Structure 1
Amino acid sequence: MKKVITDQGQGDEPTSTTPLKSKGKGRGKRKNKKRAKEILPLWLELPEEIWPNILQRLEIVEILLTAQKVCTTWRRACKDPSVWRVINMPIGSQYFNFDKRHTYEEMCRHAVDHSQGELVDISLAFYATNKLLAYITERSGKLKRLSISWNYSKLSLVQVVQKLSLLAELSLTEIVITREGIEALGSYCP
């Protein structure tokens, strides 16, 4: 059931996918347009404070590429920094493509910017670079968890961890790191 806004006010009326029938050629069209000026789905009437919770269930790539383009309500909700507190851009995403490394780095930067300093958890993959990690570190003073996987470039993780005073968890999977690098990281991570 959809909410129909008419000239008389609001009311719940069932809607159909078939167009309204007119009473002959040219008659009744104006009346039908007035009666059903705007048909709104009921989900648009949800309180604005629950939209971030709903959007957080999507992958960041989905929010950046599709969700914020659905309607103005979703676009406004996508601007809420609480949606971007956790950034997870997994390799298994349907949008992921190893040939587009710079695209994912750019999307990650946009997501970090949308967080407006509220980022607390981020998971990165092969597209993580020293430049991207520096960007995240400068803009994410509240970061508590950093996860990097499938990355074979030499990352300056010690410098990153030194700057993230609230970091409580560092997860490194399938990355290149020396024994000395692990020991140095251990001295900065609780």
Structure 2
Amino acid sequence: MAEIKSAVKRWEEMDNDVLVKVFKELNMIELAPVSRVCRSWRLACSDPWLWNVLDLGHLKSNFIPTRASPYIWVDDRSDRTLTKLLRIAMALSRGNITSLIFHFNLYMKDDHLSYIAERCPHLKRLVLPAWNRITKTGICQAIHRWQELESLTMPSIAHPPYIMEEIGRSCKNFSSLKVMGTFDVQFASTIASHLPKLKILSVRCSILTKEALLFILDCMDHLEVLNISHCLLLENLTPLGRKHIIRELDQTILGKVSRLREFYHCMSQSCTTCQRMTTDEGLMRWYRYEDWFWRQDEVSSLSLGQDYGKLFDEGCLNLGFRN
């Protein structure tokens, strides 16, 4: 019996590599209590292999839409919970996070973003589809710290020059952009001016003007990959701004996209995603659909995992109630 007991290891005596492989199967919410079990478990929970990607895409804020800027109200409990989770993640990750993913209905503040920016100095990819509560100063200061940033998923904004200018100035390796919302000629010209070496652009499920599309194809010489799948493609018919929905790409567009390495488009009436875009009049109501739906992209480097719905069979974890 003594020999048998001596051959059995206690949990805290397990090999670190084994613990890391086990903990890799846990999400950040589950890692938090595990890291407090003992010193060896906390050391394993801080292994860089666990923290290359911090995916908080299953967290939502408890929010209510409003008519006044910032057009969203978030309760204090959501903010406190998010702050707590970020503190745990930043403490365990020890600056090793290179990819950071947030849900499109998680509305952080400047304080949250600044806290992350200070503790993720090597961030290369940011998925932040909502920033109603983040100010111009807040986002620019964060981007200034992320000089290694290569990829950004963002919402459309009314006045995009400042954010693109900061990326162009601070992030010399930036090459990939995804815009979720409306993409007009102002947005296109801003990208061309400040991110002339952009290689990958996705505006899937957005309102896209033909003028903006042609501008990108004419001016972005370094562009290699373009995704306009499921877009509501509009064309001005009159000087007064009356617009027409384009149902099929013409030869002018097809001729210009032929130089690209990859080009994705879908305008099929039988496509479920295109049908949803039509129903939502071009402004996709992501909250109406499967919670993994917003994470998809035809461009593999921009997709956040097609089996995401299987990972969270019980639905999203809210920082309050589900709206």
Amino acid at match of 2:144: Q
Alignment of 1:60 with 2:28, yes or no, is: yes
Within 5 Å, give how 1:128-139 maps onto structure 2.
128-139=108-119
Residue of structure 1 in register with 2:100 after alignment: 122
Aligned CA-pair RMSD:
3.3
Give how far 1:148 is off. Answer: 1.4
Unaligned runs of 5+ in 2: 63-76, 175-323
Give how far 1:85 is off. Answer: 3.1
Contact 1:158-1:184 within 8 A present in 2 as well: no
TM-score between the two structures when normalised by the length of structure 1: 0.62
Alignment of 1:170 with 2:152, yes or no, is: yes
Alpha-carbon distance in structure 1 between the residues aligned to 2:126 and 2:91: 17
Give how far 1:161 is off. Answer: 1.2
Unaligned runs of 5+ in 1: 1-5, 11-35
Alignment of 1:149 with 2:116, yes or no, is: no
Closer, same or farther: CA 171–74 of 1 in aligned 2, 3 Å:
same
Within 5 Å, give how 1:28-47 maps onto structure 2.
47=15
Alignment of 1:48 with 2:30, yes or no, is: no
Alpha-carbon distance in structure 2 between the residues aligned to 1:131 and 1:97: 15
- Residue 97 of structure 2 aligns to a residue whose secondary structure is coil
Residue of structure 1 in register with 2:161 after alignment: 180
Contact 1:154-1:176 within 8 A present in 2 as well: no
Closer, same or farther: CA 113–177 of 1 in aligned 2, 3 Å:
farther
Closer, same or farther: CA 46–177 of 1 in aligned 2, 3 Å:
farther
- Residue 133 of structure 2 aligns to a residue whose secondary structure is coil
Aligned length: 153
Greater Rg, structure 1 or structure 2? 1
TM-score between the two structures when normalised by the length of structure 2: 0.39
- Residue 149 of structure 1 aligns to a residue whose secondary structure is coil
Give the 4+ runs in structure 1 shifted more than 4 A. 36-41, 43-46, 69-73
After superposition, give the CA deviation of every residue in 1:50-81 in whole Å (9 maximum; x if it has no partner).
432432332212211x4335677544422434
